Amino acid sequence: MKLRIEKAVYGGAGLAHQTERDAAGRTVFVPFTLPGELIEANLLEQKAGFGEASLVEVLSASEARVEPSCAHFGQCGGCQYQHAAYSTQVQMKTDILRETLERAGLMALPSIQTHTAEPWAYRNRTRLRVAEFDGLLSVGYNRRGSNEFLAIRECPILAPLLWQAAEVLTQIAAEESPAARWIRNAGEVEFFTTSDETRLQMTVFARKEQAGFSAFCERMRLLMPELAGANISLLFTEGPKRRTKIPRQLESWGAGGLSYRAAGEDYWVSSGGFFQVNRFLVDQLVRIVTAGRQGAVAWDLYAGVGLFSRALARTFQQVVAVEAAANDLSRSFKGTGKRAVESTTVDFLRSAVVQRERPELIVMDPPRAGVGAEVCALLARISAPEIVYVSCDPVTLARDLRSLVDAGYHLAELHMVDMFPQTFHLETVVILRR
């Protein structure tokens, strides 16, 4: 069928409406398309009220359509937007953010400020599958829309050191050595590097316990001097999905993490710990969240390693950083006016309501699921003058903002920070005030 793509939607597809008489007006989603394009598509699945289709041919291309930079684009599940000029990617994300918020009933929005950086080689972390392909050990990702292994020979969104490490791993696997035999039993590997690519951390997800990890790491470091530390976790299969066996760590080698320099501070990030993935935009994100804010008390909820807490501590008399998994935070966020609390956000807020505590600023950077109804209700009772909400999912963000607006807050600023170029993912910073 022929379709005219009307707009991009969250998730990476383009939206169109069928024009055939028996299906007039039915919504169809087609990946790898751009607004305004006339395309030919095959209907793959028809659901209640909408269909999913595959792109057969672009009959009239958008001027923003470009040649993808990666040979695996379209097959790999990692990127969705490499066929679009970068300025168009940013515009699509801005439009998606605005429409998502408006659909939640948030009208009269402030203008969306966009923040971008180099759109390639930006990722400081990757997790790769390791498997046999054509008789050789290869690294790869999941094939799009499946759990099938896709061997890859490049990944241009990674910091070059990460791909170099992946190539060294496969080089070792091709040798006749104990280190080669050891790595052939791995299922996945994660690499994390500093923004300047001077240090590297590795986590190997093994299918079984086996001796020889230290010998493998020594061989790896001989070819990859940046390798500072490594550890193993046990990988096992349960049902159709792979997951990591938690919490037992089998073995470690070298340093237990990396010191990551960002926004004028050094952050200790333990192996497997969360840190913002875009090495070019971390400083700008911190500036948007913290610059120009000062006072007596600030709370940093879902604080992670204290990315925002450190900056806030320069301008607030006391900063309380709240994190459920606070090992790194507790070790590093110390001193006058700095308090690290190991707690879930909801438990911390429940206690704060009882104690009638009220900071001047609340910063929160929750996981993709957002903060949820109870946290919003507690925030409304605490009634801080200003809230800065950092979100990686516009849908859950819109839901939470609707609750906070209903409780008396208004949206003072909206920022779209493109932390994930070439993909549909986007980061939003919202400033809410009473």
Annotated catalytic residues are: 392
C-alpha 125/C-alpha 386 separation (Å) is 32
123-150: b (≥16 Cβ within 10 Å) or e: bbbbebbbbeeeeebbbbbeebeeeebb
Residue found under tokens 């070059």: 160
Amino acid sitting at position 15: L
Q: Taking Cα atoms as reference points, which of 292, 256, 257, 261 lies closest to residue 276?
A: 261
C-alpha 239/C-alpha 236 separation (Å) is 10
Beta-carbon contacts of residue 20 (< 8 Å; ≥ 6 apart): 1
Residue found under tokens 């790769």: 128
Q: Is 9 exposed, middle or buried (0-12, 13-18, 19+ CB in 10 A)?
A: middle
CB atoms within 10 A of CB 54: 11
Beta-carbon contacts of residue 160 (< 8 Å; ≥ 6 apart): 121, 197
C-alpha 315/C-alpha 312 separation (Å) is 6
**Is-contact 312 290, C-beta < 8 A?**
yes
